[in-house]
Structure 1
Amino acid sequence: MVMSILNNISSLNAQRSLYNSGRDLQNTMGQLSSGTRIVRASDDAAGLAISEKLRAEIRGINQATRNTQDAVSMIQTAEGAMEEIHAMLQRMRELAVQASNDTLELNDRAFINDELGQLAEQINDIGDRTEFNGKTLLAGALSSQLSTASEVVPGSIIHTSDGTAVTNVDVSGVNNAATAPMTLTLTGDTTSNTLTLTDAVNGITQNLSIAAINANSSSTLDFSVLGVKITIASNVGSTSTEIIQGFTQATNNEIVIAGAQTAGTGTMEFMTGPDEGDTMNVSFRNVKIETTNNGGATEMAALHARLSEFTNAINANAGTDQLAAENLIGELDDAIAYISEHRAELGAFQNRMEYTINNLQQTSNNLVASESRIRDVDVAQASADLAKSTVLQQAAVSVLAQANQQPQLALKLLG
């Protein structure tokens, strides 16, 4: 070995070894202190990218699990309310059977009718008040319909939705007289001259520009793709200017929405997966005892009619109250079957949701295990590496101290 004063190669080699062992020791201590093998992207760039995708999937699945659990809670809320409705319908049927017996007098049936009325009101009250997070579930409020202008009253608000926002169509006045104006205000973007209808089920849209209507004529906005037509008609001779300014001299001006969806049920969509399109839909029916004009079910509307018939027979004292009570039994059977069918639908959907939750939880566990294998540190291996790096560092320090003494030997040759 050449003895040199200017360049101490042994010292340089020892310094490089000390640097490497110190770097390895620092990395190993970082892994052990954080519990992860990838402390920074440079530790494993590919592994970091894969694990981050897995983390996104895991967090999405965990949130989907919570969403599904909320859906189960909503279904349980509705089903619990319908359980009470079932009990009341059963009691109403019991009363109807009792009222059908000819051993009773008119006054006896009048007392029975009072209880039937109270039970019917309570069923309607449950339909109106059963809510989950502010959403009414059993009153048909999740969907609504306006068939003709005759059903529109001043102050009505038509709600339309495109899946992301709700637009209110405020009907501030409707009158069929020739001297009264009709004002239809669209609440939304005032700078737009286009009316858009969206099919909430299929997501299909059509845009039509709104133009002026000539005198003595009508104009139709034909949304044929959506199966909806809006007709604006002017049936009284008047000037075009007057029609444009608000149909001030026209009569029977109307907006007719044809082919709209009925309001007997409302459909809700639940996000039950981590990706777009991972959804489930469930329908909640209207359980109120009311006429179909208000969006009620035909079974409950028929029950409403029979109850009214029974009440009228008692009030008229025409001797038909026993027959009216007997007719009521069949409608109550239909109403009970209607509620039973809906409870069965919700029960089946709840079971499906429970299986979905189990699957999501299992999938999340598997993904967490996959992500763990990529990112988590092997403590046993890291501990061995720590001991190795510590020994190498100590050895490098000792060798460096000896290497730095070698130039001193050259002084002895000069002495």
Structure 2
Amino acid sequence: MRINNNMSAVITNNQLLGTESSLSDVMEKLSSGFSINHASDDPSGIAIAGKMQAQIDGLNQASTNGSDGISVLQTAEGALNEVTDMIQRMRELSVQAANGTNSDSEREAIQKEIESLLDEIDRVAATTEFNTITLLDGSLDCRTYGNDVTRIATSNDVPSGIYQLKITQAALRAKTTINATTAGTVVENFDNTFKKIETTTTVNVPGLTAFNYKDFIDQTTWETVTRDYSGATTVTTSTGTKNGLGLSGSIAINGYPMEFAQGSSGEMVYGQLRMACEKGGAVISDFDDPDGLSISSYKYGDNAELEIDFSSVEFAKALGFDENVLAKDEGGNTIPKFLGTGTDAKMTLFKKGDVDDTGKLIDTEFGKQATYKTEGRRVIITDTKGFEMSFFADDGYTGNVTLNVTDIGSMALQVGANEGQQMKVRIAAVTTQFMYIDDVDVTRAKGPEDAMDALGDALSYVTAVRSQLGAYENRLDHTTKSLDATAENMTSAISRIEDADMATTMVEYTKLNVLEQAGVSALAQANELPQLALQLLQ
């Protein structure tokens, strides 16, 4: 019997300490709900759980990002709904303006509403925002850079890269020009047999060294001689030499008529020509243009037509038009009419494998099957698999054009928990320029018909943009559902790793609690054993 070292107490105490440590761990699990509270609890499990928790947090945020993306698209689509309504209203107005019962003043009133709606479309495009990000001005579309072209647009199926072409012939308007460099004489005879009166007007048009149409008219001299042979003797009278427009007459530019009075000043004649061009859908140059006074069709290309009808060949010459530009009948005789058409642009697309004049390979991404078509100055290039690129060539430009298509500019939505898991969203510009309706004018001759065509195309453009937004929105809806499902399954997996099984832990707690009480009792009894040694001393 030993009293210095009570081994029974030591052994019992060690067991009790172990039970208390285990009981402490179990109680921590019960209070926290986690089976892993320290790295020492499960080193591999805590590493796995840490990575999985990062994924879960990332997936939850990615789902929120997707919902935010849907909100962006809904904002843009709501604005486009109003743009659609405005385009439909303008087309309705164009149909109204095309009716022959409308006067010029009524068409001008219709045009005012159209211009107001065009301004509103541009305002919507410039101010529709989400979190200060402008949505409809083209800033969320892929950037494409090019020289001597504007309004560049590319479809989603155009890969980024360099595209090269050469414009060999610019799109041209139908055009006629008054140069007035050579003086001449115009004689108009009119014999009224019924009244027995004959009138002869002699017009001397000047030749100018420095062109000025107003001076040309003002420096024109004319004299009208009238011979009345209704009586026994012929009575001759003369107006004397006067200045101004030598003959009275009328013209019709693309069907819009204008009357001119004999003797009108250059200021008046130019003003009337300008008005006839404006209403007739033509363009007139400045009166002092050094290249002469030109009248051109408003449009460009093969579909551009310019028709000018004169009351007589002599009147056309009095206005300064060269007889050689007038049309001929089947017999080769000159008739008082000018007919002109524009010219489409012509170009060469440099395709993969093409070389330049020096034999150097041209850096270009156009495929072998790429083709182009022109609509005036607008060029549309298409290829297989949805490739479409369009632009607006600068007026009169010929030469090389290099287009650099980038993937910069689109909105990148982070729809995954890891790097590179993004969805690119492109929203095309919905401005009047990009829809080619910025010049809609129903007051011009054939303006309502042209407006109906242009607005119909614009409606298709907006519908295509809205369709693309709808496709993005549906995709994001499925994306967020997929993210939520993945996060749910990963949460279930991490729960099996780090969450405590309360039932099993309670069983363990009950066992350890009993062991602790038993240990305390046993230790008390072990501490009593040295007391027995005192009985030997009695």
Specify the TM-score bucket, using the shorter chain as the normaliser.
Answer: 0.5 to 0.7
Deviation at 1:378? 1.2
Structure 1 residue 396 corresponds to structure 2 residue 394: no
Residues 32-54 of structure 1 deviation map (CA, whole Å, 9 limit, x = unaligned)? 11111111111111111111111
Change (3 A) 1:287 1:56: same
State the partner residue of 2:18: 20
- In the TM superposition, what are the counterparts of 1:187-266 in structure 2 within 5 Å? 258-261=402-405, 266=409
Matched residues in 2 for 1:409 and 1:145: separation? 101
**1:167 is matched with which residue?**
none
Residue 148 (structure 1) shift: 4.5
Q: Which amino acid aligns with 1:260?
A: N
**Offset of residue 388 of structure 1:** 1.6
1:257 offset after TM fit, Å? 9.7
Aligned partner of 2:438 among 298, 301, 304: 304
Which amino acid in 2 is paired with 1:14? T
C-alpha separation in 2, matches of 1:4 and 1:226:
99
CA drift of 1:75 comes to 0.6
By how many angstroms is 1:259 displaced? Answer: 2.7
Cα deviation, 1:66-98, whole Å, max 9, x if unaligned, reads 111111111111111100000111111111111
Q: Which residues in structure 2 correspond to 1:11-410 (within 5 Å)? A: 11-142=9-140, 147-148=146-147, 258-261=402-405, 266-290=409-433, 296=434, 300-301=435-436, 303-305=437-439, 307-308=440-441, 310-311=442-443, 313=444, 320=445, 323-410=446-533
Q: Summarize deviations over 1:235-265 as a string: whole Å, max 9, x none.
A: xxxxxxxxxxxxxxxxxxxxx99433389x9
Percent identity for Structure 1 against Structure 2: 39
How far off its partner does 1:365 sit?
A: 0.6
Secondary structure of 1:404 counterpart: helix
- Distance, in Å, in 2 between the alignment partners of 1:273 and 1:325 is 51
Structure 2: runs of 5+ lacking an equivalent: 151-362, 367-399
AA partner of residue 113 (structure 1): Q
User: Which residue type is aligned with residue 448 of structure 2?
Assistant: A
How far apart are the structure 1 equivalents of 2:505 and 2:54? Answer: 27
Provide the C-alpha distance between the structure 2 equivalents of 1:4 and 1:51, rounded to a whole number of angstroms: 53
The structural deviation recorded for 1:331 is: 1.0
The answer as to whether partners of 2:432 and 2:438 remain within 8 angstroms in 1 is yes
Q: TM-score of the superposition, structure 1-length normalised?
A: 0.66
The verdict on how the C-alpha distance between 1:262 and 1:360 changes in structure 2, with shifts beyond 3 A counting, is closer
Q: Is the 8 A contact 1:41 1:48 kept in 2?
A: yes
CA contact (8 A) 1:266 1:285 kept: no
Change (3 A) 1:37 1:395: same
Deviation at 1:226, TM superposition (A): 11
Q: Contact 2:94/2:452 (CA < 8 Å) preserved in 1?
A: yes
CA-atom RMSD, angstroms? 2.6
Name the CA distance, whole Å, in 1 between partners of 2:489 and 2:15. 42
**Residues 145, 403 of structure 2: 8 Å contact kept:** no
Moved over 3 A (4+): 142-151, 224-227
Look up the equivalent residue of 1:86 and give its one-letter code: T
Unpaired runs of 5+ in structure 1? 152-223, 228-255, 291-295, 314-319
Q: Which has the higher helix share?
A: 1
- TM-score normalised by structure 2 residue count: 0.52
Per-residue deviation, 1:141:
2.4
CA offsets, 1:251-288, max 9 Å, x none? xxxxx99433389x952111100111211111111110
Whole-Å Cα distance in 2 between the matches of residues 281 and 117 of structure 1?
35
Matched residue type, 2:438: H
**CA drift at 1:110:** 1.0
Q: CA deviation at 1:345?
A: 0.7
Higher strand proportion, which one?
Answer: 2
Larger radius of gyration: 2
Aligned to 1:199: none
Return the alpha-carbon distance in structure 1 between the equivalents of residues 406 and 29 of structure 2. 62
Q: Distance in 2 between matches of 1:35 and 1:257?
A: 69
Counterpart contact for 1:129–1:136, Cα < 8 Å? yes
